[in-house]
């Protein structure tokens, strides 16, 4: 009976840690996938004293290559600002709130996708969604990015308020690519509370 009570207590502690996201990948590199998902947050305040190397960003983006895409079209492209000068230039092209939110983020990554590939067959849209499939593939790739970032101990914020054309000029992004999000990468100053989520029965139906 004592052993049973002990196991119940330990299970409760484990579930609390998962739900609260209190574990930090920097402290425990053997986190499960569920623990990584539970500890991920959209971070709007970064530690100015912690930097990220180009090598680490290469490791991070390497993971996105494994993301699925329409007919393995792999339309997603990334433009990583890693030098202080380029990061500052990209930050100036974000909305005022996002400028404040990323003030100390050491890396800003622009995410794009090549138009006319995903969702098309021999140049013709395969269904009514058309280039929306490129955006879909972009989202899948970005999901890999932010979860891998959390596994590596980093934190992220995906931002849609940005000057797409100015980013295109700054980073030499071709016209055939659609500019989607700007993603900040850095280290959180503190862990925000977990936002309320819908229940499974609110988002899924079973037949």
pLDDT tens digit string along 115-167?
Answer: 999 999 999 999 999 999 999 999 999 999 999 999 999 999 999 999 999 99
Check which CATH number belongs to the domain holding 96 and give it.
3.40.109.10
Cα→Cα distances 195→21, 24, 39, 148, 172, Å: 11, 18, 12, 21, 37
Q: Is residue 102 part of a domain?
A: yes
Q: Is residue 159 part of a domain?
A: yes
Q: Is residue 46 part of a domain?
A: yes
Q: Is residue 87 part of a domain?
A: yes
Q: Is residue 170 part of a domain?
A: yes
The pair phi, psi for residue 120, each rounded to 5°, is: -125, 150
**The total number of structural domains that make up the chain:** 1
Q: Is residue 205 part of a domain?
A: no
pTM across the whole model: 0.86
Q: How confident is the model at residue 10 (pLDDT cuts 50, 70, 90)?
A: very low
Residue 89 domain boundaries: 42-191
Q: Is residue 12 part of a domain?
A: no
The per-residue pLDDT for 4 is 36
Cα maximum dimension of the chain: 69
pLDDT tens digit string along 62-84?
Answer: 999 999 999 999 999 999 999 99
Q: How confident is the model at residue 13 (pLDDT cuts 50, 70, 90)?
A: very low
pLDDT tens digit string along 91-103?
Answer: 999 999 999 999 9
Residue 135 to residue 102: CA distance in whole angstroms: 24
Lowest mean pLDDT among 12-21, 23-32, 146-155, 168-177: 12-21
pLDDT tens digit string along 165-206?
Answer: 999 999 999 999 999 999 999 999 999 999 999 999 999 999
């Amino acid at each position: 009976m004592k052993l049973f009570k002990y196991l119940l207590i330990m299970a409760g502690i484990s579930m609390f840690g998962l739900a609260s996201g209190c574990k930090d990948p920097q402290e425990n590199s053997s986190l499960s996938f569920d623990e990584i998902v539970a500890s991920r947050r959209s971070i709007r305040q970064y530690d100015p004293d912690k930097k990220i190397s180009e090598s680490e960003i290469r490791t991070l983006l390497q993971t996105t290559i494994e993301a699925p895409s329409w007919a393995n079209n792999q339309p997603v492209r990334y433009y990583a600002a890693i030098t202080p000068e380029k990061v500052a230039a990209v930050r100036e092209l974000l909305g005022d709130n996002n400028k404040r939110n990323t003030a100390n983020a050491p890396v800003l990554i622009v995410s794009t996708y090549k138009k006319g590939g995903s969702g098309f067959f021999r140049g013709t849209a395969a269904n009514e969604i058309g280039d929306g499939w490129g955006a879909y593939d972009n989202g899948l790739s970005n999901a890999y990015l932010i979860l891998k970032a959390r596994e590596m101990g980093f934190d992220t914020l995906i931002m849609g308020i940005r000057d797409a054309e100015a980013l295109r000029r700054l980073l030499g992004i071709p016209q055939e690519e659609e500019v989607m999000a700007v993603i900040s990468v850095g280290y959180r100053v503190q862990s925000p509370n977990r936002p309320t989520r819908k229940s499974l029965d609110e988002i899924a139906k079973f037949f």
